[in-house]
Structure formats: structure tokens, C-alpha cells
């Protein structure tokens, strides 16, 4: 491989490494490695002496170890350490600002910060003029035996920052951040020449892995960041034994090829001073091309902000549909297999719905490509749609059933945060394999919106559940317990997924869906919450109709059901539309028409109608329970040929209040 620079054999590594041929761009750094006592003032005095020592040895940037003036208190899960926290400005910044100005050095001081009631593991950067250049608050917070940091530190909100001095551009990450290559890459992409890692890491007696194993892994991961990004890395650790942890010291500096420049001892306090050749970075970066040849478009999973916890554990839950929306998500119809000889007519239905929706909330609309966007834009403009309220998203999706394959948004109302759950979409039990690709839609949205999201790892469609926003969820056994969804899961296991990913605590199970429903009994054709304790229920009074017995059974179950607080529900019957029979994908079937497939938008409710006398009855019932909203009937006689109606094609994005 031609790297574009002269090579020579390194006798130690026995491999080819770059020859240093250009003039050095040197900077000298100092790392302060100490043991720590219970006396914070003594710790601070000792540190200032060592800062002077580093400066006298020529250090221009001096970095202290994590929580430099206190013992590592997160060894205990719960301890009152409020007296150890300090503000900015505070004792550390006042003292070290004066020292930095006197010595004309930049100082990186990691402290236990308190700010407006929140606590952070923070690195303060003080310039050589004595002024605070900025702060970095630790982003990745561990919570393991004897490293119980989540009990003490909030997740940092500073973002990954770079600091520019006359000598070098650098970033700071703190201890546990070192295990996350994304953080180092982010700083490198912003132009960092050097990353400092102030740390407090050691060995637990009795661990199955040896101290050597842990130490080697710790050093290797940081040296790998240097290699992968073509930058220098400096890691600063404490030494000494505190409780069950033996801190191994061994602070070190490595160059942009990962080679060690200096390493401190494991047991002694030490001031490490090293001269770095920053000009080496560009030669490494240009030669290997690790930054230049990145392909971010292939890193969807990394970009999608997937959280490992469950929504419920982090305080998220799915709000009721009638709560305020920021937007409604749709995908423009284009598939002639789904809508044979009806695509143009279904497009007219979409225009009617978008015209109504966009007055009170944004419409986020998927189209397949630029050509489709131009055509749809022209059509909407002709009908009087304000295009400023339409957000277009381009992707080659298969079909329109956004309720089932799209993200299900959840809110943490206390923290005022929004995220979503990405369920697996298998096209209703594998019935239509050409539609399974749409399971990727939530990832596309995440990449666009940069939202945190959760992956349950099980199959579920949005139309199979309905919530009242207070802790109760409606669903059906026919769908969720079907062997074509999650055959490896028991009912109890599915219940746990519903509780943990929708943030509910009470589930009502109905039995079966309407005849002809290829979704295997989605709840949004059967029963819908319209307020926390009222449910509209599809009911067929004609005893000769094949839907009569199954809908009556669901109605009777609801009459005996309660909400999450044990209070009886109010159940209101809604008549069924007429039976519509036709051929779908070559098979004769009864279309799953239902008035319950309505969509609750801001200030209005869109209700499917089918050109039947029961349309008026259904609209009146729905208007009575939504007295504060305008109920609009939408003719769905063409849309229903795709085996779904209004609710099936829409997904709400709730407002963070």
C-alpha cells in the first residue's frame, strides 16, 4: 500500500511507520498524577505545587486527573457528598485562574460541579491569560459496582467541544468517555490535534480479570483512538488505593500512530512532561485516509441514537392520540398493486386529508424520489396547501401504512424530551414480503431528526395497540399472540414488552378483529379510546353477519374492563359500514372497513366514510365524544381497497410541552 510518504522499519515494532521528514510543530504538555487524601485543601495545595513543577519543565498545557481534589467517592452507591461540589467560578477556578495567568500556561481542571441543582463531572479549561475558555461535562456515565456514577452525576450537556490555544487545538473527554470511539472521532472531525483523558480508573480486588488485563485494555483503547483519528492522546490517571479500588496510575502520552511517548509509573506520584510533534498528525491522516474515506451514509445504526434502556425505565410513555401534535407523518401513495386502478383517486383522498391537517399541525410527507416530490408539490399547491407547512422526506419506501411501520413516539413529560420506539415490521406476519423493507423507515427518520430511540427487537405494528395516555393499553390476542409475529415469546413476555416500551401498567386484551382484516385483528378497527375512561367499540347488530359474534364478544369484554385505576370504562357502540367484497392481490376477500379507523388531529378528527347510511350515525357518535374538535368525514371507498383506512396511513408526532 502506497501511503505517499517515505517509510522506514521501526526496530521495536518491526513494521513500517512514517519517517518524520517535515519541521516539527511542537507543543509541550504536562500531566499531574497524584494520590488523593480526604483533605481537599491539602490535595489542592499539592496539585498547585506540581503544576508549578510542570510549568518549570516547559509544559504549556497542564492537565489534572479526574476529580483531582477529592477521593473517588462513587465507590459507594449512595453517599452525601454535596459539600464536595463546587460552582464555576469557585475555589478551583479562582485559584487556578490566578496560577495559569502567573505561569502563562493553560490548565485543565476536572471538578465535581454543581449548577442550578444539577451535578456534573466537569473539566474546566483555563487559558494562559487566567480566563475560563470553557467547560466539558462528562457525557458517558457508568454505573457498575464501585463505579456508581449515575448516583452522583447528571449526563453532561456541553457537547463535545474543542479548545484553541496558540500552541494546539485540543479536546477533553473524561474517563469512561474513553471507551466510546464515537466521542474521539467527533473531536477529531472538529479539528482536535490532541485529546486529553483525565481519568480515575483502577483494579478491583477479586476481579476475574487481572490488573494487567484491565490496564492493557484501558491503554489500548486510547492508543487506538490516536491511530484511528491520526491525533495525539494524553491520558491522566490517579494512583493509590481508595477502598476496594487500586488505582494504577500509568498516565501516558502517545503520538498519532499510537506509539508511546511517555508513561508514568503505576504507584508513584509523578509529573509527566512530554513534547509532542503535532505536524505528524496531518501526515498520518493524509496517508491512511481514515477521516477522508469515511462513509457516514452506511453508519445508520450509530447515527440513530439507539438507547439500551427501556422507555419506561427512563420515564417515557406513549401519549394519547388526542394530546397535542407537532406533526402528522404520511407516505404518498404510489403502488398500483395496493391500489389497482385507483392510485389517482387515492391521491385525491390524500390531498383532501392534507388540506385539512396542515392548518393546525405540520405534515411530514414521504415521497419516493425528486420527481415524485415535484409532482406532489405541484398538486398540493394547486389545491391551496401552504407548502411551508409540508416537510418532504425522500426514500424509496414500498407502501403507505405508516401507522404500522413508522416510529411510535414517546414522551418524557417531566424532562420534556421526545424519543421513539422502532419495532420490527414483518408485513403482518410475512404476508407481503415486498413491503418488509419499510421497517427501515424509523431509522431514516432518526437520521433526519437526530432523535433518541429504542429498539425492542420484537415484531409489532402501531395499529395493533391503542392507549389512553394514563397507563392503559388496548390490544387483541389474535394479533399480538399470533404465531406469525413473535412465536418465541409467551403472553407474559409480550406483556412485559408492552409495559416497558409503551410505558403502561394495565392491558386490556380483546379477542379477534373484523373479518377480512389482513393485519390479524388490529385494534384500530375495533375499539378506540376517546378519553381516558371512554372507549368507542365497533358493533354489528345483524346477527347473521359474520362479524356479529366476534364484535359482541369484544364489547362484552370491554364492559367488564377497568382502567389503570380500577374504574369501569364507558363503552359506546359504533355501527359497522356495509360489507365490501373484492379481489386483493388475486384473492377474493371482505375489506376491513370500519369507522373506528379515524385519526385524532389537532382541532379535528378525520373519519372514514363509505357512502352508506351508517356514515351519518358514526359521524354523529364521534362528534359527540369529541365536542371540542371538528369531525370531518373522508370518503375512503378507494383507500379501503388497500386493506386500510385513515388511521392506518398516519402516525402522530406529539408535542413536547
Residues 331, 366: contact at Cβ < 8 Å?
Answer: yes
- Which among 63, 175, 479, 648 is annotated as catalytic? 648
Answer whether the bond into residue 213 is a cis peptide, omega within 30°.
no
- For cell 373484492, the residue is 582
Q: What is the DSSP letter of 102?
A: H
Q: Which cell numbers in the block locate residue 550?
A: 366476534
In Å, how far are 206, 250, 477 from 215, measured between CA atoms? Answer: 15, 9, 52
Percent composition of the chain: helix, strand, coil (DSSP 3-state, to 5): 30, 30, 40
Identify which of 494, 524, 517 has the alpha carbon closest to the alpha carbon of residue 652.
524
CB 445 within 8 A of CB 407: yes
CB distance 639 to 346 below 8 Å: yes
Classify residue 214 as left (phi > 0), alpha (psi -120 to 50) or beta. Answer: alpha
In this structure, the number of other CB atoms found within 10 A of the CB of residue 649 comes to 28
20 CB-side CA count, 13 A: 14
Helix (H) / strand (E) element for 308: namely: none
Sheet holding 239-242, edge to edge: 202-204, 245-248, 239-242
53: Cβ contacts below 8 Å, ≥ 6 apart: 271
- Is the separation of the CB atoms in 540 and 546 below 8 Å? no
**367, 439, 644, 421 alpha-carbon torsion, rounded to 10°:** -100
Give me the residue label for grid cell 490566578: 98
Reported residue count of the chain is 657
**Helix, strand, or coil here: 466?**
strand
Rounded-to-integer distance, Cα 475 and Cα 463, Å:
9
457 by Cβ neighbours in 10 Å (0-12 / 13-18 / 19+) ranks as exposed
Is residue 537 part of the annotated active site? The answer reads: no
Q: Which of 333, 215, 196, 210 is nearest to 265 (CA)?
A: 215
Helix (H) and strand (E) counts for the chain?
16, 36
Q: Would you name the residues annotated as active-site residues?
A: 648
Amino acid at each position: 500500500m502506497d501511503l505517499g510518504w517515505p517509510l522506514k522499519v521501526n526496530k521495536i515494532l518491526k513494521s513500517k511507520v512514517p519517517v518524520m521528514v517535515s519541521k516539527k510543530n511542537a507543543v509541550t504538555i504536562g500531566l499531574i498524577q497524584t494520590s488523593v487524601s480526604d483533605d481537599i485543601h491539602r490535595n489542592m495545595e499539592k496539585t498547585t505545587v506540581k503544576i508549578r513543577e510542570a510549568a518549570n519543565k516547559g509544559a504549556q498545557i497542564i492537565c489534572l486527573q479526574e476529580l483531582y481534589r477529592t477521593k473517588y467517592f462513587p465507590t459507594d452507591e449512595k453517599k452525601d457528598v454535596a459539600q464536595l461540589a463546587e460552582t464555576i467560578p469557585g475555589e478551583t477556578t479562582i485559584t487556578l485562574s490566578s496560577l495559569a495567568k502567573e505561569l502563562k500556561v493553560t490548565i485543565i481542571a476536572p471538578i465535581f460541579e454543581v449548577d442550578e441543582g444539577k451535578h456534573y463531572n466537569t473539566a474546566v479549561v483555563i487559558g494562559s491569560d487566567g480566563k475560563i475558555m470553557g467547560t466539558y461535562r462528562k457525557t458517558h456515565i457508568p454505573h457498575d459496582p464501585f463505579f456508581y456514577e449515575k448516583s452522583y452525576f447528571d449526563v453532561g450537556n456541553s457537547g463535545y467541544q474543542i479548545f484553541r490555544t496558540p500552541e494546539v487545538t485540543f479536546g477533553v473527554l473524561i474517563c469512561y468517555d474513553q471507551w466510546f470511539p464515537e466521542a474521539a472521532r467527533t473531536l477529531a472531525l472538529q479539528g482536535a490535534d490532541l485529546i486529553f483523558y483525565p481519568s480515575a480508573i483502577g483494579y478491583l480486588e477479586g476481579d476475574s480479570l487481572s490488573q494487567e488485563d484491565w490496564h492493557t485494555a484501558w491503554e489500548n483503547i486510547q492508543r487506538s483512538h490516536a491511530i484511528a483519528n491520526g491525533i495525539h492522546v494524553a491520558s491522566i490517571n490517579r494512583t493509590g488505593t481508595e477502598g476496594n479500588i487500586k488505582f494504577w496510575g500509568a498516565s501516558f502520552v502517545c503520538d498519532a500512530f499510537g506509539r508511546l511517548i511517555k508513561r508514568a509509573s503505576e504507584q508513584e506520584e509523578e509529573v509527566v512532561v512530554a513534547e509532542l510533534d503535532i505536524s505528524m498528525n496531518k501526515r498520518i491522516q493524509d496517508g491512511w485516509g481514515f477521516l477522508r474515506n469515511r462513509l457516514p451514509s452506511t453508519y445508520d445504526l450509530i447515527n440513530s441514537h439507539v438507547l439500551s434502556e427501556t422507555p419506561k425505565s427512563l420515564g417515557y410513555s406513549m401519549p394519547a392520540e388526542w394530546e397535542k401534535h407537532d406533526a402528522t407523518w404520511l407516505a404518498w401513495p404510489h403502488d398500483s398493486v395496493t391500489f389497482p386502478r385507483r392510485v389517482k383517486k387515492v391521491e385525491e383522498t390524500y390531498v383532501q386529508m392534507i388540506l385539512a391537517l396542515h392548518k393546525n399541525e405540520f405534515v411530514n410527507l414521504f415521497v419516493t424520489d425528486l420527481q415524485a416530490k415535484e409532482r406532489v408539490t405541484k398538486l398540493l399547491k394547486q389545491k391551496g396547501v401552504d407548502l411551508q407547512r409540508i416537510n418532504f422526506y425522500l426514500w424509496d419506501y414500498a407502501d403507505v401504512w405508516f401507522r404500522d411501520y413508522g416510529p411510535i413516539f414517546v414522551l418524557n413529560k417531566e424532562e420534556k424530551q421526545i424519543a421513539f420506539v422502532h419495532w420490527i415490521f414483518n408485513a403482518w406476519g410475512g404476508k407481503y414480503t415486498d413491503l418488509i423493507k419499510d421497517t427501515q423507515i424509523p431509522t431514516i427518520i432518526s437520521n433526519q431528526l437526530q432523535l433518541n430511540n429504542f429498539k425492542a427487537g420484537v415484531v409489532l405494528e402501531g395499529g395493533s395497540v391503542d392507549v389512553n395516555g394514563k397507563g392503559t393499553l388496548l390490544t387483541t390476542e389474535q394479533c399480538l399472540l399470533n404465531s406469525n409475529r413473535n412465536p418465541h415469546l409467551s403472553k407474559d413476555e409480550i406483556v412485559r414488552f408492552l409495559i416497558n416500551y409503551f410505558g403502561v401498567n394495565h392491558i386490556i386484551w380483546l379477542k379477534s378483529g373484523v373479518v377480512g382484516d389482513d393485519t390479524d385483528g388490529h385494534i384500530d378497527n375495533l375499539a378506540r379510546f376517546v378519553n381516558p375512561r371512554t372507549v368507542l367499540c365497533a358493533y354489528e347488530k345483524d346477527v347473521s353477519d359474520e362479524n356479529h359474534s366476534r364484535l359482541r364478544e369484544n364489547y362484552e369484554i370491554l364492559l367488564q374492563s377497568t382502567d389503570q385505576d380500577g374504574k369501569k370504562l364507558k363503552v359506546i357502540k359504533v355501527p359497522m359500514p356495509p360489507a365490501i367484497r373484492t379481489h386483493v392481490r388475486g384473492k377474493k376477500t371482505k375489506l376491513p372497513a370500519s369507522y373506528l379507523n379515524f385519526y385524532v388531529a389537532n382541532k379535528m378528527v378525520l373519519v372514514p366514510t363509505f357512502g352508506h347510511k351508517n356514515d351519518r350515525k358514526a359521524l354523529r357518535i364521534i362528534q359527540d365524544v369529541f365536542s371540542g374538535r371538528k369531525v370531518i368525514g373522508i370518503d375512503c371507498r378507494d383507500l379501503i381497497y388497500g386493506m386500510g383506512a385513515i388511521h392506518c396511513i398516519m402516525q402522530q408526532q406529539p408535542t413536547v410541552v
